[in-house]
Amino acid sequence: MAEERQVHPDCINASNPYHECVDYCFRKIAEAKARAGKQESETTKAGSSAMKPDLGFHDQDEDLHEEMPGDAQHANGDDSQPSEGNVGGSLTNLTGRQKKLFDLRLKMNEARKANQTAMVAEKKRMEAPSESRGISKQKWLEERKKKIGKLLDANGLDMTKAYMLDTQEAAEAKYKKWEKDPAPAGWDVFNQKTLYNAYKKRTKNIEVDLEEYNKMKEADPEFYREASSLQYGKAPKSSEDRVDKMVQELKDREEKRTSFSRRRRFHEEKDIDSINDRNEHFNKKIERAFGKYTLEIKNNLERGTALPD
């Protein structure tokens, strides 16, 4: 295949798999060798103290001169243009050793190209996204925005009227979420408004008997006592039923506090790597502790690059 292409190893386009050398390429190669030979002869005559070229390069230059006898004759002569017949027939008049050298250089070029391709592929693998398991929230939002944009374009709407694509159930859920007050955070948990709201929430389920309340108020003239009253601090007697209700409310509140857990959002796109809820919770803790250290190993296992060929 290399001989069918007819690519000279000294051509600047030898690494291109679709390139085939023509007369123009051979003329340029011969001119370059002529210039190199002329500079070398001038340097030798001047007797300068410059260092000699590397032995590997010198040996390679000799091999090139042996491989291209027509080029060497033009390099030792004047600046006259080389004949097209001698350069064009140099590939067909190669000896066994020169053909072997020509094939070796073609293989070197192919190996160089394969090495560059492997380097690019390895760089892409090394620059893999940090979150290969599942899908990130930012990526999910971008995909959702693109999908909504396509629907808007299909219906002839712009982004400001995206709410027209919502269904009735989605709109009601959105409005209900907007009307809900945000949960207090920080020191707002202890301010008067938050404490009053908590009190109203606790007393919402308490049943009030207005008739009994009015009877107790009529029976006791000092029902609303002041600081100057002699009965200050004396509480009216409560029935056993009301005491039991208060105790039950305290027990329910304690039970609700112990069973409370912040809701975690469930992502359907995320890969399932657990067999039950307890195992999922354990995997999350392990991921938080050691996820950044095992990320590369995990990505290699998922891509299949961690196993030997």
pTM of the model: 0.30
The residue behind tokens 């050398």 is 21
Complete DSSP assignment for 198-264: HHHHHHTT----HHHHHHHHHH-TTSS--TT-TTTTPPPPPPHHHHHHHHHHHHHHHHHHHH--PPP
Q: Which two tokens stand for residue 208?
A: 């009030």
User: Is residue 189 pLDDT above 80, yes or no?
Assistant: no
Query: For the stretch 262-272, what's the b/e string if a residue is b when 16 or more beta carbons lie within 10 angstroms of its beta carbon?
Result: eeeeeeeeeee
Give the span between the Cα atoms of 65 and 216, in whole angstroms.
124
Q: What is the pLDDT of residue 156?
A: 83
What percentage of residues in the chain have a pLDDT greater than 90?
Answer: 8
Torsion of CA 261, 265, 271, 273, to 10 degrees: 0
Q: How would residue 73 be classed by pLDDT, with cut points 50, 70 and 90? A: very low
Q: How many residues does the chain have?
A: 309
User: Is residue 59 pLDDT above 60, yes or no?
Assistant: no
The model's pLDDT over 8-37, given as tens digits with 9 standing for 90+, comes to 778 877 777 777 888 888 888 888 888 888
What percentage of residues in the chain have a pLDDT greater than 70?
Answer: 76
**Could you tell me which residues come within 8 angstroms of residue 130 by beta carbon, excluding any fewer than 6 positions away?**
295
Lowest mean pLDDT among 75-89, 145-159, 188-202, 280-294: 75-89
Q: What is the pLDDT of residue 251?
A: 93
Q: What is the pLDDT of residue 275?
A: 92
User: Is residue 86 pLDDT above 60, yes or no?
Assistant: no
Give the span between the Cα atoms of 27 and 5, in whole angstroms.
18
Q: What is the pLDDT of residue 228?
A: 80
Greater confidence, 166 or 132? Answer: 166
Residue 21: exposure state from Cβ atoms within 10 A (0-12, 13-18, ≥19): buried
CA distances from 67 to 50, 70, 71, 83, 180 (A): 28, 9, 9, 16, 87
Greater confidence, 121 or 179? Answer: 121
Greater confidence, 264 or 162? Answer: 162
Give the single-character DSSP code of 39.
H
The model's pLDDT over 99-153, given as tens digits with 9 standing for 90+, comes to 888 889 899 999 999 999 999 888 887 775 555 455 567 777 788 888 888 888 8
Q: What is the mean pLDDT of the chain?
A: 76
Q: Which two tokens stand for residue 17?
A: 């798999």
Q: What is the pLDDT of residue 247?
A: 93
Residue 18: exposure state from Cβ atoms within 10 A (0-12, 13-18, ≥19): exposed
The residue behind tokens 């592929």 is 121
Q: Which two tokens stand for residue 226?
A: 């002041």
The model's pLDDT over 242-265, given as tens digits with 9 standing for 90+, comes to 889 889 989 998 998 888 877 666
Q: What is the pLDDT of residue 60?
A: 46
**Could you tell me which residues come within 8 angstroms of residue 126 by beta carbon, excluding any fewer than 6 positions away?**
none
Radius of gyration of the chain (CA): 44
Q: How would residue 55 be classed by pLDDT, with cut points 50, 70 and 90? A: very low
Q: What is the pLDDT of residue 108?
A: 92
Q: Are 87 and 70 spatial neighbours (Cβ–Cβ below 8 Å)?
A: yes
User: Is residue 273 pLDDT above 60, yes or no?
Assistant: yes
User: Is residue 2 pLDDT above 50, yes or no?
Assistant: no
Q: Which two tokens stand for residue 130?
A: 């940090």
